[in-house]
A and B are shown apart, each in its own frame.
Chain A
Amino acid sequence: MQIVDPLVSRSKFGESVERFIQVEKVQRVRGISLLKAEFPDIYLQFAAPQLTPPPIMFTICFNFDNYDLEPISVRFVHPFTLQPLPQSPFGMVRAVANAFGVKEMMNLIQQDPGGPPFLCIPGTREYHRHPAHTGDDWLLHRNKGGEGTLGFLVDKIYEFGVSAVAGYQVTIQAQIPAVGIALDINKVPT
């Protein structure tokens, strides 16, 4: 439900889209393309151009309802139908040193049982609405160095979801039904 004056959210939505379009060429080089922008949703696609062929890592719907009284919602959608996905296709990880100084990978995409996957970082609506984060209100982050803006979220998704992608990982399970012997016809005695 829209409780903020729609003009405010629309204006902020327009500003965000305009800013993205200003650097669209640069973003495309990083594999980020704008698919659709129609208030209140912006659909962006994140590919990994460092691989050949480049995979589509994420397609994300950024929802601006009640922005910026409420933060932007970040939802993973299908790259072609734009329908919400029940699971994120890939993880979004950051390396964190544990108590022993060993690097561990933490997945930033979280999911409650039966709920949709969401990006668990301050600045997303899903994070601030989550019961575990009631003590970390959105208004403590709003207007602090652009935290929670579309640009910030795009940067974080690229940083944790795309920049570290280094190659395809393929698991092959081979089954050999029989092993024959190859003969050289020229060496076969007459």
Chain B
Amino acid sequence: MENKQQENEGGFNQELSELKKEIELEKQRLQHIEEEEMLEKQEIQRLDERVQKLEHEHPREKEVKLIFIVNTQPVEIEAHFDWKLEEAVKLALKKSGNDNRPIGDWTVKRGDTVLDLATRIRDYHFKECEELYVSLDAGHGGDLVKNSLLCR
């Protein structure tokens, strides 16, 4: 009976020491993970600081100032690079009090080149304060032909 009790105690102690070892190993693994996490955080912080420094040194341009000449009236618009040209033109028409006609009635030209209103500002690579002509397409279509013929 006593022998059996001693055997049980021996087994219990062995199991206990194995569990303690396992806990110790787990603690070490946890500490290792924490250290890695700390290193990663430091790396992220370092990269953030680097990005901030670079942005400060080389600020990214997000807008360009365009001068729309609407019926010879100059209108300045700060156009975002992500905007479609149409958005900037609508703003220029509103600012010049000419927003009472649909956008399709207007033509935008860079010099003598007609620009596409659906194209993004970024894609045109406009210079700062570039001048664009906005003119009304009045008389286009069939009316003017008919009227011209009537005048003859």
Contacts and interface: CB of A to CB of B under 8 A. Distances in A.
Interface in B98-118: 98, 100-101, 105-106, 112
B106 A145 contact: yes
Contacts of B112: 163
A28 B112 CA distance: 15
Contacts of A147: 136, 138
Nearest to B143: A122
A22 B151 contact: no
B100 A120 contact: no
Contacts of B148: 106-108, 110, 120
A148 to B, nearest CB: 9
A19 B145 contact: no
B150 A132 contact: yes
Contacts, number: 93
B139 A152 contact: no
A93 to B, nearest CB: 10
Contact of A132 (B139, B144, B147): B147
A157 B45 CA distance: 62
A23 B69 contact: yes
Contacts of A94: 144
B100 A130 contact: no
Interface in B109-152: 112, 131, 133, 135-136, 138-139, 143-145, 147-148, 150-152
A187 B25 CA distance: 114
A152 B131 contact: no
Contact of B147 (A22, A120, A143, A145): A120
A20 B72 contact: yes
B105 to A, nearest CB: 6
Question: For the side of the interface on B, what is the size category?
Answer: 20 to 34
B71 interface: yes
A155 B98 CA distance: 15
Given A122-B138, A144-B101, A108 B144 contact: yes
A26 B131 contact: yes
Contacts of B144: 94, 96, 106, 108, 120-122
Interface string A103-129: 000111010100000001111000100
A59 interface: no
Contacts of A89: none
Interface in B60-90: 69-74
Contacts of B143: 122
B18 to A, nearest CB: 88
A136 B150 CA distance: 13
Interface of A: 19-20, 22-23, 26-27, 94, 96, 106-108, 110, 112, 120-123, 127, 130, 132-133, 136, 141, 143-147, 149-152, 154-156, 159, 163
6 contacts: A26-B69, A110-B152, A112-B151, A144-B100, A152-B138, A156-B138
> Can you list the 8 inter-chain pairs with the closest CB atoms, starting with the nearest?
A151-B71, A151-B72, A145-B101, A132-B150, A146-B71, A110-B151, A155-B135, A120-B151
